[in-house]
């Protein structure tokens, strides 16, 4: 483990230099890694492991779109693609990558196949942390750990194919075999993580639920909509409002933040913009801090987890999500955005 000073706080991380793929392959050489669930994380992790030389199989419902996708991706029925219970039987490491709500429903089946010495792998601390609501309590004689890619499974795969890596957190909930650390780190490297930082199941899920409702997804849509609406209410055209709210950020400014931090992005804007941004960012921070306090409180109380369980356990959960996603898609802001994207030189 490398010790890195993050802004004055020393943390332990695992880098690909100290734990190369060859070491991961050696650790996992006698394992059968069964990926249960082929939605977003499943394909990214299974394909990256497969191409990293790991013995990976996929377990999916049949017939299903996910089964067909796994076949299209090169997993072979009866050889590397099985129905869920057969994959659970064959797997020595069970990667539980169904949706968090679906993990609850299938848990009684999965638990039957967790025989002594096997490992149960998650990509989210949700099921174990909120086990009073999920019922997911693993048997004591199996390893239980997680690797949580800090990004979409789609990005995990794309970055792997580009020779890059998405950072992941890892955590150990149970070390029944004494090999949990090497198993989980080997898996983290094999699924295509850039580097791995250590956390625990509770901190992973509390931070993740906060992040996806906050700056990563929920809050950004909220702040985009607020600025767009004010610009439009004051007579600015849809294209001007969208460019000033989203397009410039994603195409020009956020890549500068990703490259070298916020001050670097500011320094590459006008002094007029720098003065204004430095004057206003604390006002926005103070305005939204109470909302983030409420959000974290709701996460910590389990309210966000219960809402996710209640809504995503319904038979028509996908249809209901799609109705709300369509409302976003059909909004003037994102309709304007579709036209702006078409005008990008690379799209003409």
Ligand X SMILES: NC(=O)C1=CN([C@@H]2O[C@H](COP(=O)(O)OP(=O)(O)OC[C@H]3O[C@@H](n4cnc5c(N)ncnc54)[C@H](O)[C@@H]3O)[C@@H](O)[C@H]2O)C=CC1
Q: From the annotation, which residues make up the binding site?
A: 208, 212, 244, 248, 270
Among Mg ion, ligand X, ligand X2X, none, residue 204 binds (CB under 5-8 Å by kind) = none
Q: Which of 14, 46, 97, 119 binds ligand X (CB under 6 A)?
A: 97
Among Mg ion, ligand X, ligand X2X, none, residue 216 binds (CB under 5-8 Å by kind) = ligand X2X
Report in angstroms how near the CB of residue 150 gets to ligand X2X at its nearest. Answer: 6
Could you say whether residue 100 binds ligand X (CB under 6 A)? Answer: yes
Could you say whether residue 68 binds ligand X2X (CB under 6 A)? Answer: no
Given a contact cutoff of 8 angstroms between Cβ atoms, the answer to whether 97 and 126 are in contact is: no
Given a contact cutoff of 8 angstroms between Cβ atoms, the answer to whether 196 and 169 are in contact is: yes
Structure tokens at 54: 């790991």
Distance separating alpha carbons of residues 307 and 222, to the nearest angstrom? 20
Residue 168 is inside which H or E element, if any? strand 166-174
With tokens 């190369």, the residue in question is 20
Positions in 113-132 near ligand X (CB under 6 A): 123-124, 126
Q: Is the peptide bond before 196 cis (omega within 30 degrees of 0)?
A: no
Given a contact cutoff of 8 angstroms between Cβ atoms, the answer to whether 241 and 231 are in contact is: yes
Residue closer to ligand X by CB (options 23, 198) is 198
Given a contact cutoff of 8 angstroms between Cβ atoms, the answer to whether 44 and 192 are in contact is: yes
Given a contact cutoff of 8 angstroms between Cβ atoms, the answer to whether 191 and 48 are in contact is: yes
Among ligand X2X, Mg ion, ligand X, none, residue 337 binds (CB under 5-8 Å by kind) = none
Positions in 53-82 near ligand X (CB under 6 A): 61, 66
Structure tokens at 76: 């072979």
Contact track, ligand X2X, 113-152, x by CB under 6 A = -------------------------------------xxx
Chain residues binding Mg ion by CB under 5 A are: 208, 212
Catalytic residue check, 329: no
Could you say whether residue 278 binds ligand X2X (CB under 6 A)? Answer: no
Residue 147 is inside which H or E element, if any? strand 143-149
Structure tokens at 146: 């997680």
Residue closer to ligand X by CB (options 113, 242) is 113
Could you say whether residue 327 binds ligand X2X (CB under 6 A)? Answer: no
Residue closer to ligand X2X by CB (options 141, 212) is 212
Could you say whether residue 102 binds ligand X (CB under 6 A)? Answer: yes
Residue closer to ligand X2X by CB (options 150, 183) is 150
Q: Are strands 193-198 and 9-15 parallel, antiparallel or unpaired?
A: antiparallel
Residue closer to ligand X by CB (options 146, 186) is 146
Rg (CA), the chain: 22
Q: How far is CA 135 from CA 33, 60, 245, 298, in A?
A: 24, 22, 43, 20
Residue closer to ligand X by CB (options 172, 256) is 172
Q: Give the Cα-Cα-Cα angle 165, 169, 173 (nearest 5 degrees).
A: 140
**What's the gap between Cα 342 and its chain centre?**
28
Positions in 142-201 near ligand X (CB under 6 A): 148-149, 152-153
Given a contact cutoff of 8 angstroms between Cβ atoms, the answer to whether 41 and 97 are in contact is: yes
- Kindly name the residue from 124, 173, 236, 329 that is annotated as catalytic: 124
Could you say whether residue 40 binds ligand X (CB under 6 A)? Answer: yes
DSSP state of 76: P
Distance separating alpha carbons of residues 37 and 206, to the nearest angstrom? 23
Contact track, ligand X2X, 204-243, x by CB under 6 A = ----x---x---x---------------------------
Size of the site for ligand X2X (CB under 6 A): 6
Positions annotated as catalytic residues are 124
Q: Which stretches of the chain bind ligand X, using CB under 6 A?
A: 37-42, 61, 66, 97-100, 102, 105-106, 123-124, 126, 148-149, 152-153
């Amino acid at each position: 483990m490398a010790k890195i000073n993050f802004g004055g706080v020393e943390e332990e991380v695992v880098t690909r230099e100290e734990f190369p793929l060859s070491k991961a392959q050696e650790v996992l050489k006698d394992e059968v890694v069964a990926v249960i669930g082929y939605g977003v994380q499943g394909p990214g992790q299974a394909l990256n492991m497969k191409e990293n030389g790991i013995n990976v199989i996929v377990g999916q419902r049949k017939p299903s779109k996910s089964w067909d996708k796994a076949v299209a991706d090169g997993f072979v029925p009866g050889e590397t693609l099985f129905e869920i219970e057969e994959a659970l039987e064959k797997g020595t490491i069970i990667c539980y990558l169904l949706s968090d709500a679906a993990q609850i429903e299938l848990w009684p089946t999965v638990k039957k196949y967790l025989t002594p010495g096997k490992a149960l792998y998650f990509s989210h601390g949700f099921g174990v942390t909120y086990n009073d609501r999920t019922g997911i309590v693993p048997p004591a004689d199996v390893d239980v750990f997680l690797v949580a890619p800090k990004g979409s499974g789609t990005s995990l795969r794309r970055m792997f194919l580009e020779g890059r890596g998405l950072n992941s957190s890892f955590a150990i909930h149970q070390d029944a075999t004494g090999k949990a650390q090497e198993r989980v780190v080997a898996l983290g490297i094999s699924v295509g993580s850039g580097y791995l930082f250590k956390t625990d199941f509770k901190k992973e899920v509390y931070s993740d639920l906060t992040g996806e409702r906050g700056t990563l997804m929920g809050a950004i849509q909220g702040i985009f909509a607020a600025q767009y609406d004010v610009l439009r209410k004051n007579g600015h055209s849809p294209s001007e409002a969208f460019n000033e709210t989203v397009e410039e950020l994603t195409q020009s400014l956020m890549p500068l933040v990703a490259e070298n931090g916020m001050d670097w992005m500011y320094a590459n804007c006008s002094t007029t913009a720098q003065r204004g941004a430095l004057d206003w960012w604390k006002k926005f921070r103070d305005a939204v801090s109470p909302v983030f306090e409420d959000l974290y409180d709701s996460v910590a109380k389990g309210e966000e987890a219960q809402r996710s369980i209640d809504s995503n356990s319904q038979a028509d959960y996908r249809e209901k999500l799609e109705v709300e996603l369509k409302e976003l898609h059909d909004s003037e802001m994102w309709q304007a955005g579709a036209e702006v994207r078409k005008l990008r030189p690379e799209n003409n």
